[in-house]
Amino acid sequence: MRRLALALALLGALVGGGAVATSVGAGTDGAAPRPAPAPRDDDRAILHALSRLSFGPRPGDLERVRALGLRAWIERQLRPETIDDTATERALADLASLRMSIPEALRAYPRPDPRMREKLQSGQLTRQDMLEMYPPEKRPARITAELQAAKVLRAVTGERQLHEVMVDFWFNHFNVFASKGDVRWYVAAYERDAIRPRALGKFPDLVRATARHPAMLFYLDNWLSAREDFVVAAGPNRGRRAGLNENYARELMELHTLGVDGGYTQRDVREVARAFTGWSIERPQAVGRFVFRPAMHDTGEKVVLGQRLRVLGGADDGERVLDILTHHPSTARFVATKLARRFVADTPPSALVERVAATYTRTDGDVKAMLRTIVEAPEFWSEDAYRAKVKTPLEFVASAARALSASVDARGAFELARASAEVGQPLYQAEPPTGYRDTAEAWVNTGALLARMNFALALVSGRYASVGVDLGPLVAGADRRQPAAVLDRLLAALVVQPTPETRAVLAEQLSNPRITRLTTDDRGPADTDVARLAALVIGSPEFQRR
Amino acid sequence: MTSMERRAFLKCGACALVALAGPPRFLVRTAAAAAAKGKVLVAVFQRGAVDGLSMVMPYGDPGYAAARSSIALQPPKAGEQDRAVDLDGFFALHPGLAPLVPLWENRSLAVVHACGSPDTTRSHFDAQDYMESGTPGVKSTPDGWLARAAKALPATPAPFRAVAMGPTLPRALQGDAGAVAMQSIERFDVRAADQTAGRGFESLYAQGVRDLLSGTGRETFEAVKMLKAANAARIAPANGAAYPRGPFGEAMKQIARLIKANVGLEVAFADMQGWDTHVGQGAEQGRLALRLRDFGGALAAFAQDLGDRMADVVVLTMSEFGRTVAENGNRGTDHGHATAMLALGGPVRGGRVYGRWPGLARAGLFEARDLPVTTDFRTLFTEVATRHLGVAPTTLFPGWTAAAPPLGLFG
């Protein structure tokens, strides 16, 4: 009852752009008439939306969304093409590999000469020689490093926040490990060409685009999978027998579409693998694009989830399998569960999952439509969902930089990407096809919490040389000799609503002489160490949640 | 509710229970724990499903070479280097594991072959989940088997009773044993010029809220203090032990330091990735060989580093399942069923391969393709946890009672 009332009030707020009465978070008695709206309640809804649909609020975001109206802001975020983001684009210009085609990347970052290592070990070559002949910025690892920096840059400074959230979400859903073999040359193109244009599009299109992309074909080995009795006809492996590889077929069903309990069998895994035989990569080290190799393809009859594929379907066999899988009710439920887990709670309410799944079925997996179902759901705005999610390391690092209005360029983004790794999430480095987990217990542990606190300290004290943090403007207007006023100003600027307990602890810190420096005659505080206070806020339990 | 939702729900139920469990779990710290020099179990997870058939090769079984035209190891031959090392006239150790041969010879290394889970899933994720929760087929189990083992130990809880080396706490140690996840001893501290920041954070997490975050925060500060008191950061590898570079060697080195620091470590966990050899697995050389070299090198260095202390330590290795008997079309192997696990340490009756060998004749294979499981992994894990650590068997694997007799790994 109460949740419904809250939701209705909130929908009112959405329609009215914050001017209409709302009572989120107020009162506990569902039957009693709602008390008059307090503006703070509107703000809480805006903060909630900012924390879920973006990488966290920046100073001033609250006011901006309030002025625009929450619903209008959400709608705008759902249409990223209408949002100007030239500043971010300009910063990204320093990262050249992002714009390269796969053949260009293969040429610009050549595979290291395997003899180099031997020569290095035998002393024929000094480390210095090698660095000169083969500088780090020319190595394939550079592509991943630039992609990591780009993710951080877009998360921190990008205006198309929801789009970036979804790019990150779908990359993780269709995870590839950037350090597996040739994936290192394909990974940037994979995100740019397969994921990014479809992040707010149709789910079946994402499945199709990833299925054909060389990054996925390589990562899950499908490019090598062939009919059982295939013998290589030419090239260095001439005469070698090849055969079926189940890797992609299994993960396609388990992790991309149906989910592990989605109702497929080992026999289906074999049949799907047979359907995808011949889906391969043309000259992986020179061209790196999708090719169908009829000679590798298994032309026999195939039955997938009880449906017989058209005989002699060739390359269409795979397409037909993707059709069957993306139109399966298990896929609707699996995708709905993952979205609801990202946006609502680690254990998403099953009624909400069912509604999002119904939207999937009705709209052929339209991502925008599913996101609308979520943000219009009472469950999204419920008290249970508020701050229910623990930030992933990327979300934590990005939200901290955003809260402090840090100025981040490409070089700063490299540093913050390393910070994300230190907190437990090295970007694009999830080796298993499951990607990174999206639940609290994956990220909350002693070592990771220490790393988060250390990141907070390092960030405010300027230890990331290329990340500009200027705390002065954040507390501008507050009298530094009035510690409590500085704290209030800081909390408002960082858009953190602390619990009373946290507020009390922070206030207590104000009596610490290292935080509040006393005047020489000991007659009261002369200045407040804003950096230390800010570090405590960023490292606080509240800031670990979104 | 789908099983995935159910799993998530129960997991969070467990978090809530943890949170409500009352006062911080580290009641007694430095002094008591430092005095103890107890038994230690180190669990090592080979993630991605190691090919047990080439790790511990059944060269005496004609089915092995027959099924693997390009990736079968050559059988051992006396005096030949870089070939598999004979163990008992039937099994041989992959040449990458050669550093472990002295441990086999001094009878502190044992192999359990055809070991695995009764559940038939070939999903890495599910199979790891089942092996770590210890409940094959049941996803709703809120905690991991190692957490249950640690919790059941009679000794007074210490902050470092249960430690996972790595950025995240593995499923096996999730639960209410208060397990610590850490990447290294050096980095396990609040790094600031003075103690103000550390104290500030400590107060923030000490407040009344009982949830996963604050609970973990409180444990963190207890652990930091203890590690400092023990001066663990100063302890270096001993006896000339040289760990291979890389995350697994580093993890084993850190675990050895914690053992030598006497901070009350009883259960440790480390994992190693990269065993999912679908393509180009290789034989004596190649992808699998490289992984095994790191793996064997790190385990051997660990034993050397600890020296006499290995009398109290058992290392148990595991992997979610094995790989197909036959190689696939890409000179690799696909997801299979049973695999081989190792137990090493002073208390182990080593120099033997345990478990019934089912043979590789096609008719006897699981689903006509995989090595069948003849030893339930829980039989092995139970034996190690009860005989070595002294845990009561009833708490380890809920809903399961051993049908088979113990393997006899301990004297």
Name the 3-class secondary structure at B40. Answer: strand
Query: Number of Cβ pairs closer than 8 Å across A and B?
Result: 198
Using the beta-carbon criterion (under 8 Å), do B183 and A266 form an inter-chain contact?
no
Q: Is the pLDDT of residue B183 over 50?
A: yes
Q: Is the pLDDT of residue B5 over 60?
A: no
To the nearest 10 degrees (0 to 180), the angle between helices A393-403 and A410-422 is 130
pLDDT band at B33 (very low <50, low <70, confident <90, very high): very low
Partners of residue B180 in chain A, C-beta under 8 Å: 445-447
Using the beta-carbon criterion (under 8 Å), do B207 and A501 form an inter-chain contact?
yes
**Beta-strand relationship, B353-354 and B109-116:** parallel
- Bigger pLDDT: B339 or A12? B339
* Chain A (280-319) residues lying within 8 Å, Cβ to Cβ, of chain B: none
Per-residue pLDDT of B211-223, as tens digits, reads 888 888 988 998 8
Using the beta-carbon criterion (under 8 Å), do B168 and A445 form an inter-chain contact?
yes
Per-residue pLDDT of B278-336, as tens digits, reads 999 999 999 999 999 999 999 999 999 999 999 999 999 999 999 999 999 899 999 99
- Mean pLDDT of the region B181-206: 88
Partners of residue A535 in chain B, C-beta under 8 Å: 197
How much of chain A is in helix, strand and coil states, percent to nearest 5?
A: 55, 5, 40
Flag the least confident range among A25-29, B127-131, B232-236.
Answer: A25-29
Look at residues A405, A411, A429 and name the one whose alpha carbon lies nearest to residue A495. A405
At A33 the pLDDT is: 40
Q: Does A265 touch chain B (CB under 8 A)?
A: no
Long-range contacts of A483-486 (CB under 8 A, 24+ apart): A483/A510, A483/A515, A483/A516, A483/A525, A483/A528, A484/A510, A486/A528, A486/A530, A486/A533
Q: How far apart are CA B139 and CA A131, in angstroms?
A: 50
Region of residue A140 (left: phi > 0; alpha: psi -120 to 50; beta: else): alpha
Per-residue pLDDT of B42-58, as tens digits, reads 999 999 999 999 999 99
Which residue matches tokens 């697995």?
A: B281
Q: How far apart are CA B152 and CA B385, in angstroms?
A: 10
* Chain B (323-382) residues lying within 8 Å, Cβ to Cβ, of chain A: 328-332, 334-335, 367
At A409 the pLDDT is: 94
At A239 the pLDDT is: 76
Per-residue DSSP letter, A80: G
At B208 the pLDDT is: 60
* Mean pLDDT across chain B: 88
pLDDT band at B394 (very low <50, low <70, confident <90, very high): confident
Name the 3-class secondary structure at A526. Answer: strand
Give the end-to-end CA distance of chain B in Å, rounded to a whole number: 47
Q: Is the pLDDT of residue B18 over 90?
A: no
**pTM reported for the whole predicted model:** 0.83
Partners of residue A501 in chain B, C-beta under 8 Å: 207-209
CB A155 within 8 A of CB A394: yes
Using the beta-carbon criterion (under 8 Å), do A447 and B367 form an inter-chain contact?
no
- Residue A206: how many CB atoms within 10 A of its CB? 23
* Chain B (281-320) residues lying within 8 Å, Cβ to Cβ, of chain A: none
Going along chain B from its start, the domains and CATH numbers come out as 3-395 (3.40.720)
pLDDT band at B155 (very low <50, low <70, confident <90, very high): low
At A304 the pLDDT is: 98
The percentage of residues in chain B with a pLDDT greater than 70, rounded to a whole number, is: 90
Task: Tell me the average confidence (pLDDT) per consecutive run of 10 residues in chain A, 546 residues long.
Answer: 45 39 37 38 88 96 93 96 96 96 96 74 78 84 97 98 98 94 96 98 98 97 92 77 89 96 95 97 96 96 96 94 98 98 97 98 98 96 93 98 95 96 92 89 89 95 93 86 87 86 87 74 72 92 94
Partners of residue B220 in chain A, C-beta under 8 Å: 446, 449-450
**Beta-strand relationship, A516-518 and B40-46:** unpaired
